[in-house]
Amino acid sequence: MADKTIMLVCSAGMSTSLLVTKMMKAAEARGLDADIFAVSAAEADHNLGSKEIDVLLLGPQVRFMKSQFEKKLAGKDIPLEVINMQDYGMMNGENVLNQALTLIK
């Protein structure tokens, strides 16, 4: 099992796949054992119920769902944040990985 599990949520799960690849390369370069994956908003509930998630990051295009996810995560001690729009647009895996790791206690 990975040391850190980072779940990214976007509208279809597709747009974040490139970002996931870049985040995994950044984690590998640091020697960090991380399970980083992207799902659609519709698949998020299943993953929250079946995996130990350390942090959940929302893609900027689903930022309007943040309050819904806050309710879903209530009492679960899983940090939630929206990915920085500039880092997302530039597909900056290093910065988004840093954002995720900063949120994990």
At which residue do the structure tokens 């769902």 appear?
A: 65
Give the sheet arrangement for strand 55-58, strand by strand.
34-40, 4-10, 55-58, 80-82
84 neighbors 63 (Cβ within 8 angstroms):
no
CB within 8 Å of 41: residues ≥ 6 apart: 9, 10, 11, 62, 65
Q: From the candidates 10, 23, 55, 57, which is the catalytic residue?
A: 10
| Catalytic residue check, 93 | no
Give the active site residues.
10
